[in-house]
Chain A
Amino acid sequence: MHILEGEKVTKYFGGLAAVSDVDFYVDQGEVAGLIGPNGAGKTTLFNLISAALVPKPGIIKFKGKNITGLKPYKICRLGIARTFQTVKIFANLPAVENVRVAAFFGPPKSPSSAEATREAAELLDFVGLSKVSNSPARDLTLANQKRLEVARALATRPELLLLDEMMAGLNQTEVALSMELVKQIRDKGITIVMIEHVMKAIMNVCDRIIVLHHGKKIAEGTPQEIANSKTVVEVYLGEQTDSGS
């Protein structure tokens, strides 16, 4: 079943089409990768799905229901959560409060204070941040801040999680841990769409990959198909020329 569908999704910034005529879908339970060179429109597409921006024209459907034009908080309560490319944590609040506020407001039905607190503690434990739960979020390392964003997004009890470059700027060990975390989230039954430049991670965890280039969808398929696709290789490495010339 398609949990998320986009029909002819388009977004112009001035005269520039950041996302142009993109049809896409995400199946329930899968990990979908969204890749493409810088400026391909990946984050814009995330902003369109999470309603930070409104597609014009275009329709986005979540679980078969048209959600185009809804406010971001509504989208969140429907079950779509996201993280940000550049971390947008509540820097001066303790880590646990970052998660608690999401636990209060994210779910369709607001939990009691005790429930929210328990949920926040559990999620911090899940992403491995229980030790720093009372430190102000600004004091965390970048890797931990990204994990905090994941915990905060999970606290809204999403069915679909959008991860925007969760591994950018992390070292090898941290990337490996992040890949593990993505798999654990998938095992909870949460559908994931991830933007990533770390190819090893994409090839390893994704069930299906969508490739954007200049705002257009140029390829779609399993990691194997994408790795062998001539167009994708051309986009990333430039056109192949005859040897010797």
Chain B
Amino acid sequence: MQNLIIVINVLSLVYSGWFIDWLLAPERKRRLLITGILLLILVILAALPFYGSAYSVILVASIIMYVVLTVSWTIFSGSTGYISLAPAAFFGVGIYTSAILGKEFPLFTIVLFGGLTSFCLATLVGALTLRLKGIYFTIFTFGLVLLIYQALLWYEIKFTGTRGRFVVVIDNETIYYVMLAIFVVLLIIAYFIRRSKYGLALRSIGEYEEAAAHMGINVTALKITVFAISAFFMGTAGAIMATKWTYIDPGIAFNPLFSFMPVLMAIFGGTGQFYGPILGAAIFAYLEETLLTRFPYYYMLIFGIILIVAILYMPQGLVGLIQKIQRRISRSERAHT
């Protein structure tokens, strides 16, 4: 029963992306109906604490966290092709903001602040590094994670004398609702970016940046802004997740895994469509949880094998696979008529 509830909620997440893709397609009708369905999905997700167990609430919250990280990564990197490995840095900055401010401010302020700090950091880093291209940019963003981690570790040992700190604890339901709220806001923002002329400009930067610059697009400003927006959501996710962990130190907050996971999830799902990264993140996070509980010793191994198979046989991600199947079905239908 609990498993079914979890599956329903995960499917709700994925379908929210799928229906947003529907809204984005140019000639689609019945927009009102789709918006209604999206609201229904939101109700299903929002009601989870009332019909699901405490475990399912925690699990879905952490799945949504991965979805938030992956979708916000895709906003920038999916369309521009700048592969950023900085998510762990922005996520960690959110975590630390929350740990520092947690005792003095209300939750809403903390989460907002976590996001804003990441936003500012991303603006600064973006201004410095977004002139780098390809692998250079990727390496630098990953270096940023390690830089902040080391600097913080040095600071804590040198000045505070203690490593790590405690975070104000908040109950799981509140964490879940805040996470869900971040997810909803993120989807709305991502939807409007994709729909707007800026979404088109981002894609043309991904296609040929030099040409985009000569077509009147202020590429630097656009890249930095969207990079910062994507960091904002990673920061908010970090700020709320910190309260779940009660104790954090630089190693936990700036765990490089949080840089790689969103990238892998987005690649696994496929970045072309909206539901791709959501699907990838949802399946991956669910898989991680199940494998971790059932095969604690082999989980990383199984994980790795799945990933290799995915990259070898699904270069366009799950979305590509689904589209291929859809095409095959529609072709055989045509053959029958």
- A residues sitting closer than 8 Å to B (CB atoms) are 50, 52, 71-73, 75-77, 81-82, 84, 88-93, 97-98, 100-102, 104-107, 110, 113, 116, 152, 155-156
Note all chain B residues with C-beta closer than 8 A to A156. 215-216
Contact assessment for B203 and A113 in the assembled complex, using a CB-CB cutoff below 8 Å: no
In the A-B complex, the 10 residue pairs with the smallest Cβ-Cβ separation, listed nearest first, are: A90-B207, A106-B216, A105-B216, A88-B211, A76-B216, A104-B197, A102-B215, A72-B213, A105-B217, A90-B204
Note all chain B residues with C-beta closer than 8 A to A105. 197, 201, 215-217
B50 on interface, CB distance cutoff 8 Å? no
Contact assessment for B214 and A72 in the assembled complex, using a CB-CB cutoff below 8 Å: yes
Q: Which residue of B lies closest to A110 (CB)?
A: B197
What would 28 A/B residue contacts be, using CB atoms closer than 8 Å? A71-B220, A72-B213, A72-B214, A73-B214, A73-B215, A75-B214, A76-B214, A81-B214, A89-B207, A89-B208, A89-B211, A90-B208, A90-B211, A91-B207, A91-B208, A93-B200, A93-B203, A93-B204, A97-B200, A98-B204, A102-B215, A104-B200, A104-B201, A105-B197, A105-B216, A106-B215, A152-B215, A156-B215
Note all chain B residues with C-beta closer than 8 A to A88. 208, 210-211
Most chain A Cβ neighbours within 10 Å, of B200, B203, B212, B218? B200
Most chain A Cβ neighbours within 10 Å, of B203, B214, B220? B214
B219 on interface, CB distance cutoff 8 Å? yes
Question: Cα distance A118–B19 when bound, in Å?
Answer: 28
Within 8 A of A (CB), among B302-324: none
Note all chain A residues with C-beta closer than 8 A to B214. 50, 52, 72-73, 75-76, 81-82
Contact assessment for A101 and B210 in the assembled complex, using a CB-CB cutoff below 8 Å: no
Contact with A along B185-214 (1 / 0, CB 8 A): 000000000000100110110011011111
Question: Cα distance A89–B212 when bound, in Å?
Answer: 9
Question: Cα distance A104–B201 when bound, in Å?
Answer: 9
A-B contact count (CB 8 A): 75
Question: Cα distance A81–B220 when bound, in Å?
Answer: 19
CB distance from B273 to the nearest CB of A (A): 14
Note all chain A residues with C-beta closer than 8 A to B215. 73, 76, 101-102, 105-106, 152, 155-156
CB distance from B77 to the nearest CB of A (A): 16
- B residues sitting closer than 8 Å to A (CB atoms) are 197, 200-201, 203-204, 207-208, 210-220
- By secondary structure, the B interface counts as helix
Question: Cα distance A107–B203 when bound, in Å?
Answer: 19
Note all chain B residues with C-beta closer than 8 A to A152. 215
Question: Cα distance A155–B215 when bound, in Å?
Answer: 9
Note all chain B residues with C-beta closer than 8 A to A75. 214
Contact assessment for B204 and A73 in the assembled complex, using a CB-CB cutoff below 8 Å: no
Contact assessment for A100 and B216 in the assembled complex, using a CB-CB cutoff below 8 Å: no
Question: Given contacts A88-B208, A89-B208, A91-B207, is CB(A101)–CB(B213) below 8 Å?
Answer: no
Question: Cα distance A116–B218 when bound, in Å?
Answer: 18
Note all chain B residues with C-beta closer than 8 A to A76. 214-216
The contact of A116 among B197, B208, B210, B211, by CB within 8 Å, is B197
Note all chain A residues with C-beta closer than 8 A to B216. 73, 76-77, 102, 105-107, 156
The contact of B217 among A89, A98, A101, by CB within 8 Å, is A101
Question: Cα distance A90–B207 when bound, in Å?
Answer: 5
Note all chain A residues with C-beta closer than 8 A to B203. 90, 92-93, 97
Most chain A Cβ neighbours within 10 Å, of B207, B213, B215, B218? B215
Question: Cα distance A72–B201 when bound, in Å?
Answer: 15
Q: Which residue of A lies closest to B199 (CB)?
A: A101
Note all chain B residues with C-beta closer than 8 A to A72. 213-214
Note all chain A residues with C-beta closer than 8 A to B219. 73
Note all chain A residues with C-beta closer than 8 A to B220. 71
Contact assessment for B201 and A52 in the assembled complex, using a CB-CB cutoff below 8 Å: no
Contact assessment for A73 and B211 in the assembled complex, using a CB-CB cutoff below 8 Å: no
Q: Which residue of A lies closest to B209 (CB)?
A: A88
CB distance from B148 to the nearest CB of A (A): 31
Q: Which residue of A lies closest to B207 (CB)?
A: A90
Question: Cα distance A105–B204 when bound, in Å?
Answer: 12
Question: Cα distance A218–B178 when bound, in Å?
Answer: 70
Given contacts A52-B210, A52-B213, A101-B200, 14 further A-B contacts (CB under 8 A): A73-B216, A73-B218, A75-B214, A76-B215, A84-B211, A88-B210, A89-B211, A92-B203, A92-B207, A93-B203, A93-B204, A98-B204, A101-B217, A104-B201
